[in-house]
């Protein structure tokens, strides 16, 4: 990785390695980092002394984001070559999602989006669209998920525009990384589905808008069709699968609507009584029946929700990736991309590098504490005078 400074005194690699360690140990702020600055760990991990919090923020702001993206690609390539990223149900799957990372009334930068709040004040915030690769588990290993790339949403544009800009870059860099893209109801839009179709990729999105012709048309058809019976986890399901729906002619390649009515019971903790639950889903996909049977579509579509608490949310809540280490659009983007790199390396290490015997019975949180402990270990705690 490189940055835009001329005659740098501190190397880019030192700064990058320090930032990765901040995420791995979940330090959460640059000031927390400064407190650990005499730890022995830094002398062995970095090829020089740890720089100040201020220098670190300033240097990350000048890092060339394209070179961080190359770093992410390098990790992907290595894992792919080592067969650590198997397909899911016979398909290579990615998830696209838009997230807000930070909001403030006081601080803003050139990359900030603005909105008027109910209290009349203007709030500044940042939003990104993120792409994550989902994989199956290699034999006797946990599955690895990789955050591949992000694109900041610009002022005045909708999320779909940002998403297309992201995908154009991702499809050029990772032409074969995924076959099908999962996304929420916002992405059930003809231009977006057609964009994917023109690149030979399928979409699987939530179909929510009841006004949409496709929804109403499918509704008419499933009223006449007996459901397929199936199951998802412990849920009993009734599925309707309507291929070749012609009611949305703007979408190239034909659309298919899958509906799943699911029922299961939950044991109430207090009353010990079984309480019945139901859920109803409708998805739109451009996957053909030959590419994915009804059951596969349902399993893939549920993944979209199963990863809600992992991936980006895990980064923001557990890794403090939403923290604004330096409020400047280039810095925010680079810190997040470095958080992606830290996330990918950590999960690959946990799933693939740790021997199963060592991993067994120890949660991911255990390894995080172990890393943090090393960073917080001082060479020698010196108390100048013992109390009398
Ligand atoms: Zn900003």
pLDDT in tens, 105-164: 988 898 899 999 999 999 999 999 999 999 998 888 888 999 999 999 999 999 999 999
Q: What is the C-alpha radius of gyration for the chain, rounded to an integer number of angstroms? A: 24
Contact 263, 231 (CB under 8 A): no
Mean pLDDT split into 10-residue runs, the chain, 388 residues = 88 94 90 87 88 92 96 97 91 93 88 93 94 90 92 95 98 96 93 95 88 76 90 93 84 89 89 89 93 95 77 82 88 95 94 88 88 83 61
Please give the distance, rounded to the nearest whole angstrom, from the Cα atom of residue 75 to the centre of ligand 1.
29
Residue 168 sits at the vertex; the CA angle it makes with 163 and 169, to the nearest 5 degrees, is 100
Contact 375, 36 (CB under 8 A): yes
Provide the pairing of β-strand 255-267 with 146-152. Answer: unpaired
Contact call for residues 317 and 311 (beta carbons, < 8 A): no
**How far does residue 226's CA lie from ligand 1's centre (Å)?**
53
The residue among 168, 192, 169 whose CA lies nearest residue 73 is 169
Q: What is the pLDDT of residue 383?
A: 58
For every residue of 287-335, DSSP letters joined together read: --TTT--HHHHHHHHHHHHHTTTSTHHHHHHHS-TTS-SS-SHHHHHHH
Ligand 1 centroid vs 108 CA: distance in angstroms?
A: 4
Kindly tell me the burial class for residue 107, based on how many C-beta atoms sit within 10 Å of its own C-beta (0-12, 13-18, 19 or more). exposed
Q: Which residue has the tokens 């996304």?
A: 183
Q: Cα(70) to centroid of ligand 1, in Å?
A: 25
pLDDT at 306: 67
- Ligand 1 geometric centre to CA of 324 (Å): 9
Ligand 1 centre distance from Cα of residue 365 (Å):
31
The reported pLDDT for the residue numbered 361 is: 86
Q: pLDDT tens digits, residue range 246-284? A: 778 888 878 899 999 999 998 888 888 888 999 999 999
């Amino acid at each position: 990785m490189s940055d835009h400074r001329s005659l740098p005194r501190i190397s880019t690699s030192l700064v990058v390695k320090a930032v990765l360690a901040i995420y791995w140990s979940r330090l959460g702020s640059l000031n927390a980092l400064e407190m650990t600055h005499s730890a022995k760990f830094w002398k062995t991990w970095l090829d020089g002394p740890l720089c100040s919090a201020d220098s670190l923020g300033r240097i990350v702001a000048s890092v060339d984001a394209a070179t961080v993206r190359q770093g992410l690609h390098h990790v992907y390539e290595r894992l792919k070559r080592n067969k650590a990223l198997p397909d899911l149900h016979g398909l290579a799957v990615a998830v696209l999602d838009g997230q807000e990372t930070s909001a403030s009334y006081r601080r803003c930068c050139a990359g900030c989006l603005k909105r008027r709040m109910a209290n009349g004040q203007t709030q500044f915030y940042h939003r990104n669209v993120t792409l994550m690769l989902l994989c199956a588990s290699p034999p006797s290993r946990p599955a690895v998920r990789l955050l591949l790339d992000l694109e900041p949403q610009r002022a005045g544009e909708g999320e779909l525009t940002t998403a297309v800009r992201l995908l154009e870059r991702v499809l050029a860099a990772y032409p074969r990384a995924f076959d099908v893209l999962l996304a929420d109801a916002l992405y059930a839009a003809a231009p977006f589905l057609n964009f994917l179709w023109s690149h030979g990729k399928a979409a699987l999105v939530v179909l929510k808008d009841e006004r949409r012709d496709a929804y109403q048309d499918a509704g008419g058809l499933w009223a006449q069709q007996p459901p397929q019976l199936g199951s998802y986890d412990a849920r009993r399901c009734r599925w309707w699968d309507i291929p070749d729906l012609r009611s949305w002619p703007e979408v190239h390649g034909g659309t298919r609507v899958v509906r799943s009515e699911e029922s299961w019971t939950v044991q109430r903790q207090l009353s010990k009584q079984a309480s019945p639950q139901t859920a109803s889903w409708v998805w739109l996909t451009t996957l053909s029946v030959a590419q994915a049977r009804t059951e596969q579509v349902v399993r893939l579509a549920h993944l979209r929700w199963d990863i809600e608490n992992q991936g980006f949310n895990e980064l923001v809540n557990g890794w403090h990736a939403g923290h604004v280490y330096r409020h400047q659009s280039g810095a925010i983007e680079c810190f997040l991309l470095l958080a992606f790199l830290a996330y990918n390396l950590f999960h690959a290490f946990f799933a693939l590098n740790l021997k199963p015997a060592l991993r067994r019975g120890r949660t991911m949180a255990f390894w995080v504490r172990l890393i943090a402990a090393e960073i917080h270990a001082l060479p020698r705690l010196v108390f100048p005078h013992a109390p009398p």
